[in-house]
Amino acid sequence: MEKRKERLKTQYEQRFGADAAYRNQVWGILCRDYFSRYVPRRSKILELGAGWGEFINNIDATERYAIDLNPATAYLLDPKVISIEQDCSQPWSFDDDNFVIIFTSNFLEHLPDKEQIERTIAEAHRCLKKGGLIICLGPNIRYVPGAYWDFWDHIVPLTDMSCTELLKLYHFTVDVCIPRFLPYSMSQRKKPNLMLVSLYLRLPMLWPFFGKQFLVIGRKVEKA
């Protein structure tokens, strides 16, 4: 486990270190101009696979939590964000019906297998309040079939439809399913002007041409 943690730390540094400031600015825009519509300011939110905290540091919420195995994560989070260093597929220490929002971006495909993804989603359902949302953003292998595997730690191929089916299996209704939302990656040294990022979010007619990541949002319902 310790070797896995150190490997995560090294991977993040190699992949994101040079672009950290830019990535944080982009996520500031994404949170302000798009994701804030789903996150009430007076809410309790958890991010799975928080990485360097670009989302959870920028989103406006009363209580913010972050889970990641990377030992560097805790040092990069806003001081008001509570960090939990653990494997998210193992039982969480939170009570049932705890969060209003659970968010995850470019994370589920990194888990070792589908069983661990399922355990993670089961914990998310347990810890969300009734009516709470799980927001899943990730690369859609349908639109990046070869490039998907350019990252050594991409393991499980996912699409908007497979993510939707998974959430339904674990008693979520799906409110939003966008197969092509954001462009693929910010880790390839492509740095669009920040004004263009904001403009892109306001022009969904562009998403089918440039989007290669899905956005799926599920709402917790009671088990049948």
Inter-residue contact 50 to 66 (CB < 8 Å): yes
Which tops the pLDDT comparison, 70 or 68? 68
Alpha-helical regions (H) of 35-172: 54-58, 73-76, 114-127, 160-169
Spell out the SS3 assignment of 83-112: EECCCCCCCCCCCCCCEEEEEEECCHHHCC
Please compute the mean of the pLDDT values over residues 120-139 and round it to a whole number. 97
Question: What is the domain count for the chain?
Answer: 1
| Amino acid 193: pLDDT | 87
pLDDT tens profile 76-109: 999 999 999 999 999 999 999 999 999 999 999 9
CATH number where 70 lies? 3.40.50.150
pLDDT tens profile 140-196: 999 998 989 988 889 999 999 999 999 999 999 999 999 999 998 755 556 778 999
Residue-range definition of the domain harbouring residue 9 = 2-220
Task: Please list the residues that pair with 217 across neighbouring strands.
Answer: 135, 176
Q: Which two structure tokens, joined as six digits, stand for 52?
A: 């360097």
| Amino acid 4: pLDDT | 57
Which tops the pLDDT comparison, 185 or 131? 131
